[in-house]
Amino acid sequence: MAVKTDASIPKLGARSTRQRAAVVNVLRELTNFSSAKTIHQEITARNYKVGLTTVYRTLQSLADINAVDVLHMSTGETLYRACESNDHHHHIVCSNCGKTVEIDGGPVEEWAANMAKANGFVLTGHTAEVFGTCSSCQHA
């Protein structure tokens, strides 16, 4: 199966490879945060030849350049999702089905800056993810 490598896939990092393009293609098709193992299973189902170790390395390199959203779960699992926005944002995630919506940080942004300043820090970043149950899962 051919992997889309045209100009619509930005060059992500130093090397643009067939394996990297396969990971990016699958990430763009998945709507929820997914583990490296799930992403690898999706890649394999599409008949791309990419090893699990390569998927882990690619996801880490994409995270390093802020090309993917990363969600660190309380279980220790790390989940990944293609960014829909280049702007700073947060997520609300359904704890049941994993549906994810990108949201503006609103007052969280000011609060984080104020807390850093009040404690003698210079803010270099923050994360804030919101979890709940989506309307579909509430009605199921």
pLDDT reported for residue 52 = 96
Q: Residue 88 — pLDDT band, cuts 50, 70, 90? A: confident
Closest to 108 in 3D by CA, of 125, 83, 87: 125
Q: Alpha-carbon distance 109 to 131, whole Å?
A: 18
**CATH superfamily entry for domain 85-140:** Ferric-uptake regulator, C-terminal dimerisarion domain (3.30.1490.190)
Residue ranges of the binding site: 88, 94, 97, 109, 126, 134, 137
Per-residue burial over 96-122, b = 16 or more CB atoms within 10 Å of its CB, e = otherwise: eebbbeeeeeeeeeeebeeeeeeeeee
Q: Give the predicted TM-score (pTM) of the model.
A: 0.74
The average pLDDT across 78-99 equals 85
Residue ranges of the binding site for Zn(2+): 94, 97, 134, 137
The average pLDDT across 69-79 equals 89
The average pLDDT across 27-55 equals 93
pLDDT at 82 over 50: yes
State which fold the 1-83 domain adopts: Arc Repressor Mutant, subunit A (1.10.10)
pLDDT reported for residue 129 = 84
- Strand 78-82 and strand 34-35: the pairing is antiparallel
93 bridge partner residues: 100, 131
Residue ranges of the binding site for Fe cation: 88, 109, 126
Give the DSSP letter string of 58-81.
HHHHHHHTT-EEEEE-TTS-EEEE
pLDDT reported for residue 31 = 84
Domain locations in the chain as residue ranges: 1-83, 85-140
